[in-house]
Amino acid sequence: MVGRILKSLLSLIIVSVSVINLYAAEVEFSGTFYEQNAYIKNPTLGSGFCISEVLVNGNKAKAELNTGVVVVDFAANGLKFCDKFDLVVKYNGDSKPELINPKAFVSSSTFDLVSAKIEPSGEAFDLVLAIKGEAAPLAFYVELYKGDKWVVSGVFQGKGGSAEKTYTIPFPGLVGENRIRVYQVDSDGMKEREKEVTIMSPKSSAVVVKKISSGREIIFSGVTEYKIVDADGNTKLHGMSDMINISSLPKGKYFLVYEDVYKKFKN
């Protein structure tokens, strides 16, 4: 008699554990908060829904669970822009909840170029960009169209966030019209959200070479972006200045590239 009772209790415990394993589970999502809410598909379970609790970084989240799509407002749950999060969704039944918008929490590229202008900065010039709607704090690349091709003219780190921000970078540019484009590279390594605009420069005259002293230096009439390339096409020196120290270059033939000019010289 006692043996039958113990056997029945053991069977009940096994069944109970099986039921707990079947109807109490959790799924975990991680990411970065880029001012986007999480939307979680909440499967039905009998007359209700399967999600029983949501945790954000270990704390019970403020969210309405009695709905087919659970919305987790990270800001309302204490997260700030660019905070990392660990989202744990506890549920019953065998239908697993799904995060509907996972790409909202990776470093995707989204921004609007509000305005662009070139301004004097001492003897040089700056490019001033107003940008808003940055989904993530990604780097921005600025290209200038010169010499019948696009060349990278500047790189700067974005701050992220939806509010409008102003970024200023050194920018030699060209006299008159400057055709530029601004873009980011997303988490998949793809160039995204490319914005192109043509702006006028207050630069009154083109920079020219004033003097080339072989083995010593090259002097320009003003600050410009330059590149020195050897006979094999290798870039030896690159920068932005009104003077280049070429004393480190071995003797030989080179090309000096500046503004939209290609000039041969010997060192």
For the residues of 57-98, what is the DSSP string, one character each? TTEE-----SSSEEEE-TTTTT--TT-EEEEEEEE-SS---E
> What is the band of 197 on the pLDDT scale with cuts at 50, 70, 90?
very high
Q: What is the pLDDT, as a whole number, of residue 12? A: 38
Q: What is the pLDDT, as a whole number, of residue 161? A: 85
Cα 80 from Cα 84, distance rounded (Å):
9
> What is the band of 13 on the pLDDT scale with cuts at 50, 70, 90?
very low
CATH says 2-105 is which class?
A: mainly beta
Q: Tens digit of pLDDT for each residue in 114-123? A: 999 999 988 7
Q: What is the pLDDT, as a whole number, of residue 16? A: 37
**241-246-249 Cα angle (round to 5):** 140
Query: Is the Cβ–Cβ distance between 220 and 243 less than 8 Å?
Result: yes
Identity (one letter) of the amino acid at 65?
L
Which CATH superfamily does the domain covering 112-201 fall into?
Immunoglobulins (2.60.40.10)
Q: Tens digit of pLDDT for each residue in 33-84? A: 988 899 999 999 888 899 999 999 999 999 999 999 999 999 999 999 889 9
Query: Is the Cβ–Cβ distance between 202 and 177 less than 8 Å?
Result: no
Query: Is the Cβ–Cβ distance between 187 and 107 less than 8 Å?
Result: yes
**206-228-199 Cα angle (round to 5):** 35
